[in-house]
Amino acid sequence: RASSPSPLELPRLQTNYDLVRIPALGRNAQLWVGTEKSDENVAITRPRPMTIFLRAISHSVDTNTVAGSDRLVLSAMDELERGILHPLVTGAQRTKSPYPIEYGGASSRIFLHVLNEYEADTQSVIKGFRSILDTLLAKHSTRLLKLRVDEIEVKARISYVMDGKRHVQPIRLVASSTSGEWLKTDAYLEYPDPVTGVAKQFRSLEEASAGVMQISPYPTSNTVQMKRASARRVGSTYAFDFLGLLEVGLIQQWSKHPNLKMPPSGTLFESKELILGTDGELSPTVRPVGANDIGMLAWICTMKSPEYPLGREVVLIANDVTVQSGSFGVKEDDFFFKASEYARERGIPRVYIACNSGARIGLVEELKPKFKVAWNDEANPGAGFKYLYLSEADYTALKPGTVTATKVSGPGGEIRYALDDIIGQIHGIGVENLRGSGLIAGETSRAYQETFTLSFVTGRSVGIGAYICRLGQRLIQMVDGPLILTGFSALNKLLGKEVYTSQDQLGGPQVMFPNGISHQVVANDQEGVTAILDWISFVPKTKFSPSPILPAVDPVDREIAFVPTKSPYDPRHMLAGHYGPDGAFVSGFFDKGSFKEYLAGWGKSVVVGRARLGGIPMGVIAVETRLSDRRLPADPANPESRESIEPQAGQVWFPDSAYKTAQAIEDFNRGENLPLIIFANWRGFSGGTRDMFNEILKFGSMIVDALRTYQHPVFIYLPPNGELRGGAWVVVDPTINEQMMEMYADRESRGGILEPPGICEVKFRKQDQVKAMHRLDPVLLDLDAKLGANKDVIEISSLKKQIAAREETLLPLYLQIAHEFADLHDRAGRMKAKGVVRDVLSWRKSREYFYWRTQRRLAELQLRNRLAQADPSLTFEQVTGVMQKLVQSDWDDDRTVLKWLDANSAAVEAHIKHMRADAVAKAVGDMLYKLPSDQRADIVSRLR
C-alpha cells in the first residue's frame, strides 16, 4: 500500500532532506517536498535547494508495455504539475527554517515501484524497459524539462526458475541526470536483506567492474545539480544536458520514418568534449561533466540520423551560463575561435547554443580598498577632487605593471602616486575582451561563408553573443530567449526614465521574428533541439558532400491534387498540400509532411522554406498571392509614436520580402548545398515613394547577386495562373547564371513586361480598338458603307450618331478583346518559341518532371566537378562536351543519362583517372617548354 513507507523507500529521503508531505490525487502516490538539511561544511547563507519527490506504487500488469508505462508516466507528471504549483514550492507559503530556502526552482524526482512480478529473464526485461523508457523520454521530453525532472526510477521484480526452484530478482531501471548527462539510463540488480527484504546492495549492469555497492540515502545537490539549477534560473538548460536532448531528438527523428530501420538507441548519439591543449589545438577528450573552468564548451558529436544511419559529425559549441553568467572573456573567445575553426576546416556543420551575458567586464579588485582621493577641500567633498592616488607603501606592494602613476608630493610632504592608468595583473577584464569579440565575429562570418552555421538562443544572448548569432545568419530563438545589445535597465538610465520593463521588449521573439533576425521561434529547449535536427536533416554531411537523399515515401509519379487558382490562395497549400473541408488530404508539390517554413514572420509577401521532392532536399521560394500586413511597433521611448500597419499586396516584391528572398538564396547556397526551386509569380516590385526610400532597388539587386553566385541547380517555374513581369522577371532570368539556372513555364502561366491592361494603354489604345470594331463588326461595316455612299447632310449626321452609339456599345467588349490579344503575347508558347524558357510543363505532372530533372542535374554537377578537378584547365563548355562524349546517349533525356551513369560508374572512374594523368602530363610539359633547352634536357635526364 502507498501508506507503507518501505515500498516507497521513504527512509532514503529522510537522511538528507527535511520532508513535508503535500496532497496527491492518486491513491497509490505520495508527494513530498524535500529541503536539503543544513551542511556544516557549507555557509548557512547559501539558499537550500528544494526537490519534489513523487513516490508511487503500481499494481498494473501492463507496465512492461509502452501504453501501460505511458499511462503511469503521464499520471506522475500530472502529480508533479500540481506539486510545483503548491504554495510551499512557489514560496507563497514560507516554511519556518533557520536557513534560507530557494523557492520557485524546485527540481523533481519520480520513483515508481511495480509490485507485479514479470516471468522472464533479466536481460530481456531490462532491454524491454530500456526501449520503453527511450520512447517515453522522446515523447515527453518537453514536459520533463518543464517539470525539471532529474531522475526517474522504476523498481520491479523478475521471476524465473533455476535448478527447479523459483527465484525472484529485484531490478531497478534509472534515468538520471545527477551524474551530468540528461536522464542517462542505467540498469541495476538489487540484493535485498534476506530478513527484512529491504534492498541493501546493488550492482550496475553497465559497469560490472564496479562490483557490488551499498544503497545509500538520496544525496543532496552535487556541483552538477547546482549548476543545472543555476542554468534553469536564467530560463535555460545546463549546457551538458543538451547532449541528452539531442539523443532524445534523434529518436524523435527516426520515429518520423517508420519505413527505415533505426540503429540501437544506445548508439544513436556519441559525443566527445573538445579540449584546448597546451599546444593551442583542440583534441576530442572524455572527462567528467562540469570539469570546465571557462564559460565556453564544445563537443564533436556523431549522430546517426535517418539521412546518415552510419553517422555524421557536428561541432556543437555552447556557452556555460553557470560560469560568470556565460560572459565572453579572452579564454572563452580563444576557445570559441578554435572550435569554430575546427568545424570550418573540416567542412562539418557548426551549431552554437547561445546563453550569455555578452563581453565580460571587470575592475582590478585589489585596488578597491587601497586607492585614496586627493580632495580639493578636505572639509568639503562637494568641491570635487584632483586625482586618485596610492600611498607609497601600497604602490610599492603592487606587482610591476599593475598601474602607471606619477610621483607627487602631498600637502604634508608625503609621497603619493597619482594614478594615470590602471592595468591590473588579470587578463580579461576590459578592452582585451572586445578584441576577442572581434576575433570570433570575424571567424563566424568566415564560417558562414565556408560551412553550415546555425545558432539557437536559449535564456538570453547579449552584445557580442547577439552579433555572432546574426553573423551565423541561421537563427532559432526560444520564446524566453531575448537577443539584445544592451539591457533594459541600462537603457532606462540612458533615457533618464523607466521606459522598458523587460529584455523581451528589446529583443524578444515579437521583435526578432518579424524583422527577420530569427528564422524560427520555439517554445522550449527540447523544441529547439528538434528544430536544430530538422534543419540539419536538409544539410549534407560536409560542405563537399552531395545532398542527403532519403528513400521516397511519397510516390514520385503521383499527380498534384492542389491547383493554384486565379483568385488568391495560400501558397503553402501549393507546396505542402492541405486537408480539405471533407478531411481528405489534397496533395501539394513536395513530399507530404516534408515542407518546413522559415522566416515566416518577416517579409510575408514571400514564403521560403526547405522541403523534399521524392526524398531530395530542396530550397523553395514561393509567392504570397493574398493581401498581407507589415506591422511596425511603437517605440516605447517616444510617447508620441504609435503602432502602424502597412498593407502589402500579393504577387509584389517589397523591400523586406526582396531582402528575405536574397537572404534565403544565400542560406541555401552556403553550407546547405541545396538545389533551389522558385515558384515565380510576381507582377513586379513595389516602386512607391516609401518603398523606394526603403531601398527596394538595393534589396532587389541583392537577389541578382545571390543567384549569380549560386553553385547548385536552380529552377525558376512559373506556376499555373501565375505571372512574371517587368523587373521581377529580370532578377530571376537564367542569363544571370546560365551554368546553374533554368526557367520553366506552366501552360497556364503568363510572362511579359506589362500586364494586358497596362500594355493596351500604350500599344492598343481606344483608337486602335475602334479601328478593330470598324474592321470586324458587321453593323459598323454596314454603317460605314452607307456613310461613304450618302450625300445627304442630315442622313450623314444620323449615321455618325449611330456609329458613335455602336462604338460606345462595343467598347467594353473590344477592351476585353484587346486584353486577350495582348495576353496571347504573354503565353507559354511564345516564351518557348523565343527561347526564354527551357520547356512548357503541365502542373499536375510537374512533380515527376522536376524529380528526374533534379536527380539528373545533381548527378551531372557531381560528375562535372570531378572532371573539372581532374583537369582544371577545362572551361564549363569543354567539360559539358566531355560529358556528352562520355555518356554517348540522348543528352536531353534525364532518365537515360541517370541510368547510364548508374550502370557505368567504373567506366567513369577510369576516364577521370585518364584525364587526371593527361592533365598532369600536359602541365609538366608546359612547364618544361618554358625552360631553356639545356635545363629542360637536364631535368629530363634526371627523371629517367
What does R_g of the chain's alpha carbons equal in angstroms? 37
pLDDT at 841 over 90: yes
Of residues 451, 454, 852, 843, the one with CA closest to residue 615: 852
| CA–CA separation, 574 and 718 (whole Å) | 13
Q: CATH topology of 237-359+431-538 equal to that of 365-422?
A: no
**Higher pLDDT, residue 412 or 618:** 618
Among the residue ranges 38-42, 244-248, 831-835, 857-861, the one predicted with the least confidence is: 38-42
Q: What is the mean pLDDT of the chain?
A: 92
Query: What is the CATH number that goes with domain 237-359+431-538?
Result: 3.90.226.10
Three-state SS at 823: helix
> By CB neighbour count within 10 A (0-12 exposed, 13-18 middle, 19+ buried), where does 715 fall?
buried
CB 317 within 8 A of CB 421: no
Average pLDDT over residues 22-38: 90
Query: Which residues make Cβ contacts (< 8 Å) with residue 277, sequence separation at least 6?
Result: 283
Q: Where are the alpha helices (DSSP H) in 371-508?
A: 392-397, 431-450, 464-471, 488-495, 504-507
pTM beyond 0.85: yes
Highest mean predicted confidence (pLDDT) among 148-162, 180-194, 648-662, 918-932: 648-662
Answer yes or no: are the C-beta atoms of 450 and 377 closer than 8 Å: no
What per-residue confidence (pLDDT) applies to 45?
Answer: 59
Q: Judge contact between 746 and 843, C-beta under 8 A.
A: yes
pLDDT over 70 (residue 505): yes
Q: Is the pLDDT higher at 47 or at 687?
A: 687
Per-residue pLDDT band at 433 (split at 50, 70, 90) = very high
CATH, domain 571-746, list 1.10.10.10, 3.40.50.300, 3.40.1670.10, 3.90.226.10: 3.90.226.10
Residues contacting 3, CB < 8 A, separation 6+: none
- CATH superfamily of the domain spanning 365-422: Biotin dependent carboxylase carboxyltransferase (2.40.460.10)
Question: What local confidence, expressed as pLDDT, does residue 404 receive?
Answer: 96
DSSP 287-332: --TT---SSEEEEEEEE--SS-TT-EEEEEEEE-TTTGGG-B-HHH
Amino acid making up residue 882: V
Q: 731-778: per-residue pLDDT in tens?
A: 999 999 999 999 999 999 999 999 999 999 999 999 999 999 999 999
Provide the pLDDT for residue 40.
62
Residue-wise pLDDT tens digits, 534-545 = 999 999 999 999
pLDDT digits (tens, 9 = 90+) for 57-69: 998 888 888 899 9
Give, as one character, the DSSP assignment of residue 177. Answer: -
Asked whether residue 3 carries a pLDDT value surpassing 70, the answer given is no
- Domain-wise residue ranges, the chain: 10-221, 237-359+431-538, 365-422, 571-746, 756-839, 871-930
475 three-state secondary structure: strand
| Average pLDDT rounded to a whole number, residues 473-496 | 92
What is the number of residues in the chain?
944
* Predicted confidence (pLDDT) per residue in 434-464, tens digit: 999 999 999 999 999 999 999 999 989 999 9
pLDDT of 41: 58
CB 321 within 8 A of CB 459: yes
Can you give the pLDDT at residue 802?
A: 94
Q: Please report which confidence band the pLDDT of residue 211 belongs to, taking 50, 70 and 90 as the band edges.
A: low
Report residue 187's pLDDT band, with 50, 70 and 90 as the boundaries: confident
* Three-state SS sequence of 641-659: CCCEEEEECCCEECHHHHH
On the question of pLDDT at 944 being above 80, the answer is no
Distance CA 408, CA 69 (A): 79
Query: What does the block give as the cell for 713?
Result: 541547380
What is the rounded average pLDDT of the residues 392-399?
A: 95
What mean pLDDT do residues 861-868 have? 94
Across 205-214, 425-434, 520-529, least confident range: 205-214
Please write the tens of the pLDDT for every residue from 261-274. Answer: 998 877 899 999 99
